[in-house]
Copies of this chain bind each other. A is one copy, B any other.
Amino acid sequence: MALEHLFQGSALNAVDAKGRVSIPAFLRSVVERRGDARTIVLAKHETFPALSAYDPAYAALKHAKLERLLEKEETSPDAELEYQQRNLMAFGASEEVPYDGSGRIVMPPMMRRKGGIEDLALFLGAGETFQIWNPSLFLQDARVPEDLKDIARYRLEERGLGA
């Protein structure tokens, strides 16, 4: 299945009082090459205190994958319930947000809270998806490799918000 265009790279952008953030141009270009939507889908990351983001086309793919899984194990009643739960998580607990001409989204308040996002948003490419972090949480998390934290530190310094 593998979508050919992958999200990669990092950036640190400001979140204004209204919750607006610019999606870095290099991530937007991937979204637009994968499909022609000018929207991204936001969801709480499964394991990290951060947000996971992707394009609508990837969401459809994810759905198809779940459906195939269900049909294969249709016999079990447990499988049915688990499917319902995962499907609801994937679509009920996510939001599709459009970005405007200058590439900005308004981060929905609920997502902002779930992702712990404050006034800075750290963008990290992750292949088929990308992540949005509160840089402080990123630096605090023990599971994040030191090399990656260096990147975050660099981005902070770049803005004169070092250490």
Residues of A within 8 A of B (CB): 2, 4, 6-10, 26, 41, 44, 47-48, 56, 59-60, 63-64, 66-67, 80-81, 84-85, 87-96, 109-110, 113-114, 124-128, 131, 143-145, 147-148, 150-151, 154-155, 158
Contacts and interface: CB of A to CB of B under 8 A. Distances in A.
Contacts of A113: 154
A126 B8 contact: no
A9 B95 contact: yes
A92 B151 contact: yes
Given A80-B47, A114-B150, A145-B85, A63 B93 contact: no
Contacts of A8: 41, 59, 91-92, 94-96
Give the one of A67, A88, A89, A124 with max B CB within 10 A.
Answer: A88
A88 B124 contact: yes
A26 B143 CA distance: 37
B9 A89 contact: no
Contacts of A26: 96
B127 A63 contact: yes
B60 A110 contact: no
A31 B144 CA distance: 32
A151 B89 CA distance: 10
Given A26-B96, A47-B84, A88-B148, 17 more contacts: A2-B60, A2-B63, A2-B67, A6-B60, A6-B63, A8-B96, A9-B92, A10-B92, A63-B128, A84-B143, A87-B126, A88-B144, A92-B125, A92-B126, A92-B131, A93-B147, A110-B151
Contact of A124 (B44, B92, B150): B92
